[in-house]
A and B are shown apart, each in its own frame.
Chain A
Amino acid sequence: MKKLKKPNVWILATVVALTTALAGCSGNSNGEGGSTKPSPTNTAKAGEKDNAGESEDAPWVFGSEPLEFTAYTHYGWQDFPEKMEDVPLWKYLKENKQLNIKSIQAKGNHAQLMSTMMASGDLPELIYGDRYNPDIERLIDNGKIVALDPYLDKYPNLKKWLDPQLMDLLRSKDGKLYKFPNWYTNKSTNTAGYVVNKKIYNELDQPPLQTMDDLYAYLGKVKEKYGDEVVPFEPDRTVDGQGIGVLYTGFAEGNNYKSLSSDVQGVIKDNKLTSLFMDPSFRESQKFVSKLYREKLISQDMFTQDRGKVLEKLMTGRVAVYAGSGPTTYASQAHNELIKTDPEAGYFMIKPIHKAGLDQSNIHPGGYDRLGWNITTITTKAKDPEKIFAFLDWLTGPEGMTIQFFGPEGGNWKGFDENEQPIFTDQYDPAQVTEIQALNDRVMIVGNTSYIDPAKMKYENAKPPEEQNWSARYQSTITWPSANDITALNNKLNPEPDSELGDIRQKILDLITQVLAESATASSDEKVDQILDKAQADAESYGYNKLLEWRTEQWLENKKTLGME
């Protein structure tokens, strides 16, 4: 061992030498970074000046000149297509509109890629992601996103189709609009609700399923008849609320599914957000769930299973009642699979279940946000932000939306009617339309639901209910009408993650996640109360009330913006 010491000295010496050398290198690169850093802001400023100059000119016509930019999807589960030819819409745009989009792909690693792009300053020109994604918020706060306001009056479509009050709600703190909404609408889009297994329901002589007592009795009968073979109540992945949240909405009129989510974490009472743990209907609902759990009437794996397991159970017809925030996707898939072998099997949806004595029309298993889902932004890296906006505005207009959904003109449609709706031709091919829509799904970034839903329904409504697409049928008859408008509750209620309120939100989120599981699987009703009492005490010590007060202010502010007072 002693003999080894001398070479160690040598290694140490070289290590030190290397350190200095490499430190020198990194020093240099830092220096360079420092000197080159200001240039992007310079170019950004120059760009802004250009825009200012241009905005007096006529609007740029999309397709009149070649346009090229980089685009990035800020999700782990989805990327823009690698090549323009990969999806029908982009292929059309390349061939007919001289557009070339270079896709930057996260390949599942979006959080890391975004951090790298932020830290290096090498941002894509267009970013598509969640409406209140903290990364995108940070980009806006640091002046990396282009405000869209100068272009709104110059280009017709967004201004025409997006309600001005919704546009105001979408504006950032500085009053500017940075986000182009996706799937904005003026009506319900909710898909939450209850799905019932038709075969089991018929075999049990179709008992009423309106109140919670009906549901409890029905689940008991299922258990009695089918034993372990069938899961009486499948609440999906309850770590995310899902079926438990849907049940909660049935225990008081006006309850919101959102109350359980990390964006709200509170219950509306007398125009104020109050503690979820002290809400009597939440306690009642959790007692109901824990009773189902104790009596093995609800999936015993609800807090551990992944969604693949849920789909598998549905596909094999081993679920009697299924509830969640978006059960239509899986249920329609399972329905279509089951009816292949047995036309009497399959699933159907029922009106919201509620506690006896409540008015069913005031029970909302889900809500809808008129701003839709996610957003698209243009960064200051964009060489010509106005041209990108011109493209987005074209895409959200009648021509763009119709091509996304029904392919190029001359195929399934030709020309527009007096309502700007497409006129379908005799060659209309439903299979091809379904395929076009499925393939284009990941490049539909500025969806205009108000425009496209009537167009879609125009074709679907012409058919008798039995022949209609499963999802379309139950969405229009059950889930859409049973929802309430939660736009005011669904926006701007999340504090900045590294602020004090952000810390409280995180602590309450951890607490709710844990308490939801503990109380849902509690061994007795008294235990549920004990767990929630303790949760309330913990929450208060974390500063829950402060968070609720701030969120109440934000919510009331949103209501004012939307003119809902």
Chain B
Amino acid sequence: MPQAATEQPYNRPDRRHDRKPFLSRLMKQLDVQLMVWPSIIIIFVFAYIPMYGVLTAFMDYNLFTGARIFDNPWVGFKHFAAFFDAPDFGTILRNTIVISLLKFVIGFPAPILLALMLNEVRHMLFKRFVQTITYLPHFMSWVIVGGVVMSLLSTENGSINIMLQKTGAIDESINFLSIKDYFWTILVSTNVWKEIGFSSIVYLAAIAGVDQHMYEAADIDGASKFKQIYLITVPSIMPVIIIFMILAAGNLLNAGFEDILILAQNPLLRPVSDVIDTYVYRVGLQNQKYSYAVAVGLFKAIISIGLLTLANYLARRSGNSLW
């Protein structure tokens, strides 16, 4: 937690009294510095240096020029205009926003709820069992998860259809993966199912750090379990929740790629499933229209930065912001 971390002497050198030269201060914190530098270098090499490549969004990039991108002709906003004029632009933008919002609104609180629920489980063996079961799907690739979901939902011999038919809930098999109205539900629930356990680990850790004395005091004051959760646990882990919320906001336009590509095999679903990333893949990369793909990606990144800044601004008012 940020508060705990800031108590560390390394992060808070009292500079008015500590005027030692830079090198000696660096030596003093060498262990910590050694941990930080590799990541900074990696981020630099793989995230910052290639960044000049976004310039190709404003060019007609020819692959054979390789890294000498300035040999390509500048074309201004041609590729952006082409994207905005694409017949599916409206649908794609809507799907991207709706799917990512749904994933955020449902997928973000779900692991918190799970962590709160698990925290109340007193049977240790059962708690460990549930935890293990829920975070296992995180380690499976989308191809596998998608395959499982597709065979569960298939019309011919799909377990869900068989179950619904045996219990008499439906008479005829439902073609779940071909009906537009169901797609968002299937996509979001599959995502929640896959990630809920793993995401809840960090909240469980935060909950474990809450001072137990507060619960004892609340018990004496006669607070119910729900009141304790509401008044002690949630406020105590709020900083963690907010930080993760800001990070999630930065990811808002990442409506998903592999999951949609795999679950929305039926072209019928395209009006509800086509998002910016699948569109870039299909139209940009598969046809080697790199400049176009970069332009669309850049457009997405700009909106994401905007959303991140907004989220951070809102969070700052509550006193827990990234910057």
Contact = CB atoms under 8 A, between A and B. Distances in A.
A235 to B, nearest CB: 13
A176 B22 CA distance: 68
A164 interface: no
A67 to B, nearest CB: 28
Interface stretch (A30-38, A350-358, A397-405, A467-475): A30-38
A239 interface: yes
Contacts of B65: 119
B63 A138 contact: yes
Contacts of B88: 510
B289 A521 contact: no
Contact of A111 (B40, B150, B285): B285
Interface string B288-307: 11001000000000000000
A304 B266 contact: yes
Interface stretch (B43-51, B203-211, B225-233, B247-255): B43-51
A507 B82 CA distance: 13
A34 B64 contact: no
A58 interface: no
B268 A33 contact: no
A278 B235 CA distance: 64
B243 to A, nearest CB: 13
B17 interface: no
Interface string B54-79: 00000010111111100000000000
B154 A304 contact: yes
A518 B64 contact: no
Contacts, number: 122
A120 B178 CA distance: 43
Contacts of A144: 64
Given A34-B68, A498-B287, A498-B289, A115 B63 contact: yes
B208 to A, nearest CB: 25
A431 interface: no
A55 B285 CA distance: 41
A359 interface: no
A156 interface: no
B289 A513 contact: no
A12 to B, nearest CB: 12
Nearest to B66: A119
Interface in A233-271: 239
B68 A497 contact: no
B12 interface: yes
Contacts of B321: 1
Interface in B270-323: 270-271, 282-283, 285-289, 292, 321
B132 to A, nearest CB: 29
B167 interface: no
A309 B286 CA distance: 26
A303 B267 contact: yes
Interface in B194-218: none
Given A22-B44, A26-B49, A498-B287, A7 B11 contact: yes
Interface string B152-179: 0011100000000000000011010110
A460 B40 CA distance: 67
A421 interface: no
A538 B87 contact: yes
Nearest to B176: A304
A516 interface: yes
A197 interface: no
Interface of B: 6, 11-13, 15, 40-41, 44-45, 48-49, 60, 62-68, 82, 87-88, 150-151, 154-156, 172-173, 175, 177-178, 265-268, 270-271, 282-283, 285-289, 292, 321
Given A119-B65, A303-B268, A510-B270, 12 more contacts: A19-B44, A19-B48, A22-B49, A118-B63, A144-B64, A301-B154, A301-B156, A303-B267, A309-B154, A497-B288, A497-B289, A514-B268
9 contacts: A3-B6, A22-B45, A120-B66, A299-B156, A306-B265, A497-B289, A498-B60, A514-B267, A517-B178
